[in-house]
Amino acid sequence: MTDFASLDFIYSQLVWDWNDLLKAILSLCAGFVLGFEREWKDKSAGFKTISIICLGSTLFSLLSFKLGAGESEDATRIASYVVSGIGFLGAGVIFKDGVNVNGLTTASIIWMSAAIGMAIGFGVYVIAAIFLLACFAIIVSGPLLNKYVIHNVVRMVTISFSRNELDVKDEMLSKIKPLAKHVKIKKQTMSADIISMEMEVLIDKRNIRKFEHVILENQRLIEISL
């Protein structure tokens, strides 16, 4: 005699297996979409890293959902640690280069890929798709905005000149200010014969060439760092 209860159980397990496979495929696709731009720009976390993070988040969500099902009141205990754990990976790609901080976009994409992977793991495909498209739109439109809409850029300039030619400072500031929107002297150091001045300059991208030409053509400067 056929045990229909056992057949139903086996069928439900097969359905779950196919659903899990679908989630894995969707997770890999989402990781590819988010990691493609990072890979194209040769960043530290590219296609492989983002895809594995997205796939791992999906797996943790599946385990959390299945192991927490039934009499358990908490089906998100494992998945909740993904939120805090992913921060370690994000922090690893952020580094400071002088006054600039690099890796923030890559860290944000890592964070978003984990969130989308978790959404896929829990089966909320519509939400995952909406946020995946929104994130991809930001990634694609960001460089276009920087190129065609946002024209301001911050440049750090360090110049060194002789202590016997203090008028060089006023001369340089008078030539730079008409080209820049903002000039701030960050630091001044003085040695036995040389004075060094570090400036933060907010300038329109269209004036960068003129700005560099004004500084480089000054023969009285001993050292220049742009």
CATH code for the domain of 210: 3.30.70.260
**Residues 111, 18 share a domain:** yes
> Of 86, 115, 148, which residue constitutes the final position of a domain?
148
Structural domain containing residue 186: 152-225
Rounded Cα distance, 28 and 39, in Å: 15
**Residues 162, 138 share a domain:** no
**Residues 112, 17 share a domain:** yes
**Residues 39, 128 share a domain:** yes
Rounded Cα distance, 110 and 179, in Å: 39
Q: Which string of b and e fits 92-112 if b means at least 16 CB within 10 Å?
A: ebeeeeeeeeebebbbebbbb
**Residues 112, 165 share a domain:** no
Domain count, the chain: 2
> Of 148, 166, 185, which residue constitutes the final position of a domain?
148
> Of 129, 148, 167, which residue constitutes the final position of a domain?
148
The pLDDT assigned to 127 comes to: 93
CB 69 within 8 A of CB 90: no
Average pLDDT, the chain: 79
**Residues 167, 144 share a domain:** no
What's the pTM? 0.67
Closest to 32 measured CA to CA, from 89, 116, 104, 99: 116
**Residues 170, 132 share a domain:** no
**Residues 160, 141 share a domain:** no
The pLDDT assigned to 100 comes to: 64
The pLDDT assigned to 128 comes to: 92
- Per-residue pLDDT tens digits of the chain, which is 226 residues long: 455 555 555 455 545 677 888 898 999 999 888 888 777 777 777 788 888 989 999 988 888 877 765 555 566 677 778 877 887 777 777 776 665 667 788 888 889 999 999 999 888 999 999 999 998 888 888 777 777 776 777 888 888 888 888 788 888 888 888 888 888 888 888 887 888 888 888 888 788 888 888 888 878 888 878 7
**Residues 69, 120 share a domain:** yes
The pLDDT assigned to 26 comes to: 92
Rounded Cα distance, 172 and 168, in Å: 6
**Residues 53, 144 share a domain:** yes
**Residues 157, 138 share a domain:** no
The pLDDT assigned to 126 comes to: 92
**Residues 118, 16 share a domain:** yes
